[in-house]
Structure 1
Amino acid sequence: MTALPLPHPVPATTEGTTIPYPDEPVALLQLDGADPVEAASAVYREVRRGRRVVAVACGHPRAGVRLAAALDAIGVAAVPPPPGEAVLRPGVTIVPGPETVHGRLRSGPARVLRIALAGCGVVGGGVLPRLLADVRFEVVGVLVRDPDKAREPAIPAGLAVSDPAALLAREPDVLVEAISDASTGLALIRAALTRGVDVVSANKQAVGADLPALTALARAAGARLLYSASVGGGAPLVETVRRARTHGAVVRIEAVLNGTCNFILNRLAEGRSFDDALAAAREAGFAEADPTADLTGLDAAAKLAILSHEALGGRLVVGSVSREALARDGVLPDGRVRQLARLDVHSGEAGIALRAVDDDPLFADLADEWNALRVTTGDGRVFTARGRGAGRTPTAESVWADLVDLAEAGRCPKENAAGPCEPAASRR
């Protein structure tokens, strides 16, 4: 790992006991089990705010089972409390509610948000159907390379465009940026923010390139930049770092940030060849046709730069982060190996390396595409998070959560630009 000059160094302290749920408030939700996807979204948004959740599943005899399955697809574990045990426990607890739901929990939108969607691939294609079905949003354009190409989900007539300028000319309130190209995505984000258009992005390379500059641009233009989906898919890694920072100065970040590499490393541990493991990752939808960014650690480095900004402010240059590649002819350490991202304020080290983690339960049993994060503060507190770090459903859910926060906040005060945005009732 390479030593880098990191902002805001703090005195060293002794690391303390892990505190996975420090000072955690509780959300009690009554949910309509007739729509488990929408119900899971409501739970997920509370989880990523750092709250324990008691979910009362109503409206269907199997509402709780359906809700648990929808949450698992995102990467949120939820179970009914065992007989005789307390309902109020860490994480998410599902309890049965009445089969009749009185009234709808969602009120009509104060104002419909005009949405421009850039990209209709894995992530954009997961968000589009929900946008089209939700009265809080109006899709005004969808940016794709070939507007005439047949695709699933289908883009409604008149919405597909191939020119980024034409997309922004449709005067959206929010740009949802979910394209794979870093330079195009970054240019589009900058153009939108300059116009005062809010941006929700899942593009880690674009966001991680120079997040402080993008944040400053958003603030100057009175826009908001939300990017939770750019790190960790459905795992609330950005929110966990933010929460840790409110409790004390962050001194260390350790994380598994790339679901593709984690999937491949698990297959290698089973004795499969590198080529077979990579093919399985592609078949599962985690590895791109060109997996170079994943295998060389570039993807994880961009995500580490984003988490560094959340923890410390300032800029961690992606190109300066040391990276160890996962390669066909590489020699791995003995034991359970992870592609581990690490940022240490005391030593100034920042890097991506292949490390054995047998004695670390947070990382050792990490399944397939899952990501995990440990954040340590100067007073010894340790904050952790885990979840599905890749795939359409978890990443699209993270984008959706940002969008719903915008819709329910009614475009929250501009002093919150480029920061988290919560409904007025949740802000303190």
Structure 2
Amino acid sequence: MTAASLPLPRPATGEARIDHTSDEPVALLQLDVADAAEAASAVYREFRRGRRVVAVACGGDGAATRLADALDRIGVATARPGPGQALLEAPVSIVTGPDAALQGPQGAPARPLRVALAGCGVVGGGVLARLRADDRFEVVGVLVRDPGKPREPAVPEGLLLSDPAALLAREPDVLVEAISDASTGLALIRAALSRGVDVVSANKQAVGGDLAALTALARANDARLLYSASVGGGSPLIETVRRARAHAPVVRIEAVLNGTCNFILNRLAEGAAFEAALAGAREAGFAEEDPTADLSGLDAAAKLAILAHEALDGSLSPERIGRQTLAADAVLPAGRVRQLARLDVRADSAGVALVAVDGDPLLADLPDEWNALRVTTGDGRVFTARGRGAGRVPTTESVWADLADLVAA
């Protein structure tokens, strides 16, 4: 593993490991679960801010179960406390409410936010379906490589474009960028921010390559750049690093950031052959046809660079992060293994390596596509997060939360 030079703070020595579990602010939500996905979105937005949530599920029989199921698809664990049990022992507690939620005062509808969508694959298609069902948004264009290709959900013909310049010419308020190609995505993000257009991106390779410069470009043009979905899918990893940094200087980050490798490593631990494990990851929708970025550690390195920016405001290029490749002939340590991305501030090093994690309560039992994060601050406090790190539903939810924040701002 090679070291990466960073402008690093030097906090005091000595670390005790303390779970971050007891002092989050609490959000009490009364929710109409007639639309379980939207109710779950309301919970998720509070959850990712680091708040404990008590959700009162309204909508008759089964409302609480429908809300819990919708949150499980995102990757948010819930509890259903019974009579006399504490409400705040879990990050999200669901209680059954009346048949109908109380309705607050309804203001005049604002002008819909004009949204340009770049990419209509797994993530983009999930976002498009949500956008078209919500009158807060107006989709003005959808950028794709092949406008003639059949898609699910279907895209109205007048929205399909293959020219990035034509997409921005439709004068959107916000660009949702979910392109798989890093260079095209980065060029589009830069062009949008230069025009003062807000950007929500799920593209870790584009964002992680030069986040400091993109942030400066957004600031110079009075635009906003949001990228929670670029790391962790539905797991609020970026938000957790921000919370840790607000508490005290960050001295260490340890994270499982790639669902494909985690899926494969779980299968290898069960005795599967490498090629069979990789095929299973493809069938489950977690691995691309070309999984090189995942297996080589480049995907995790790009995500670690984004987390490093959040922790330190320093520029850490993914190419400068040491990486170990997961392959059929890789020699793995004994026990339960994870592809672990690590940033050690005091040692001035960053890397992605295959590491045994037996006995680690955060990482050892991590399910297939899940991601996990542990952030340690200079005073010894530990902040953690776990959740689904891949898939249409959790990643779409993270993009949707960023869009909702733009609307609410």
Which TM bucket (shorter chain)?
over 0.9
C-alpha separation in 1, matches of 2:277 and 2:215 = 38
Q: Secondary structure at the match of 2:19?
A: coil
The answer to whether the 8 A contact 1:109-1:407 is kept is no
1:202 maps onto 2:195 in alignment = no
Paired position in structure 2 for 1:369: 369
Paired position in structure 2 for 1:255: 255
Shift of the alpha carbon at 1:88? 2.5
Q: Which amino acid aligns with 1:381?
A: R
C-alpha separation in 1, matches of 2:327 and 2:166 = 41
Paired position in structure 1 for 2:222: 222
Paired position in structure 2 for 1:44: 44
The 5-angstrom pairing of residues 181-200 of structure 1 reads 181-200=181-200
The 5-angstrom pairing of residues 395-406 of structure 1 reads 395-406=395-406
1:355 maps onto 2:355 in alignment = yes
C-alpha separation in 1, matches of 2:117 and 2:100 = 37
CA deviation vs aligned residue, 1:33-71 (integer Å, no higher than 9, x gap)? 111100000000000000000000001210000000000
The 5-angstrom pairing of residues 58-97 of structure 1 reads 58-97=58-97
Shift of the alpha carbon at 1:161? 0.1
Q: Secondary structure at the match of 1:363?
A: coil
CA deviation vs aligned residue, 1:374-410 (integer Å, no higher than 9, x gap)? 000001110000000000000000000000110111x
The answer to whether the 8 A contact 2:132-2:138 is kept is yes
Paired position in structure 2 for 1:305: 305
Q: Which amino acid aligns with 2:226?
A: L
Aligned length: 409
Paired position in structure 2 for 1:329: 329
The answer to whether the 8 A contact 2:78-2:90 is kept is no
RMSD of aligned residue pairs (Cα, Å):
1.2
Shift of the alpha carbon at 1:349? 1.2
Stretch moving more, 236-245 or 81-90 = 81-90
Paired position in structure 2 for 1:267: 267
Shift of the alpha carbon at 1:17? 3.0
Shift of the alpha carbon at 1:329? 1.1
Paired position in structure 1 for 2:124: 124
Shift of the alpha carbon at 1:363? 0.4
Shift of the alpha carbon at 1:11? 3.0
Paired position in structure 2 for 1:57: 57
Q: Which amino acid aligns with 1:81?
A: P
The 5-angstrom pairing of residues 149-160 of structure 1 reads 149-160=149-160
The answer to whether the 8 A contact 1:48-1:236 is kept is yes
CA deviation vs aligned residue, 1:217-272 (integer Å, no higher than 9, x gap)? 00001000000000000000000000000000000000000001000100111111
C-alpha separation in 2, matches of 1:123 and 1:23 = 34
Cα distance change, pair 256–25 in 1 and its aligned pair in 2 (3 A): same
Cα distance change, pair 108–125 in 1 and its aligned pair in 2 (3 A): farther
C-alpha separation in 2, matches of 1:361 and 1:303 = 22
The answer to whether the 8 A contact 1:255-1:341 is kept is yes
C-alpha separation in 2, matches of 1:21 and 1:134 = 35
C-alpha separation in 2, matches of 1:347 and 1:284 = 38
Q: Secondary structure at the match of 2:157?
A: coil
| TM-score (structure 1 length as normaliser) | 0.94
Cα distance change, pair 303–97 in 1 and its aligned pair in 2 (3 A): same
C-alpha separation in 1, matches of 2:119 and 2:68 = 30
1:342 maps onto 2:321 in alignment = no
The answer to whether the 8 A contact 1:21-1:50 is kept is no
Cα distance change, pair 108–58 in 1 and its aligned pair in 2 (3 A): farther
Q: Which amino acid aligns with 1:366?
A: L
Identity %: 76
Q: Secondary structure at the match of 2:307?
A: helix
The answer to whether the 8 A contact 1:59-1:98 is kept is yes
Shift of the alpha carbon at 1:79? 1.7
C-alpha separation in 2, matches of 1:152 and 1:23 = 43
Stretch moving more, 107-116 or 298-307 = 107-116
| TM-score (structure 2 length as normaliser) | 0.98
Paired position in structure 2 for 1:246: 246
C-alpha separation in 1, matches of 2:106 and 2:247 = 33
Paired position in structure 1 for 2:28: 28
The answer to whether the 8 A contact 1:322-1:351 is kept is yes
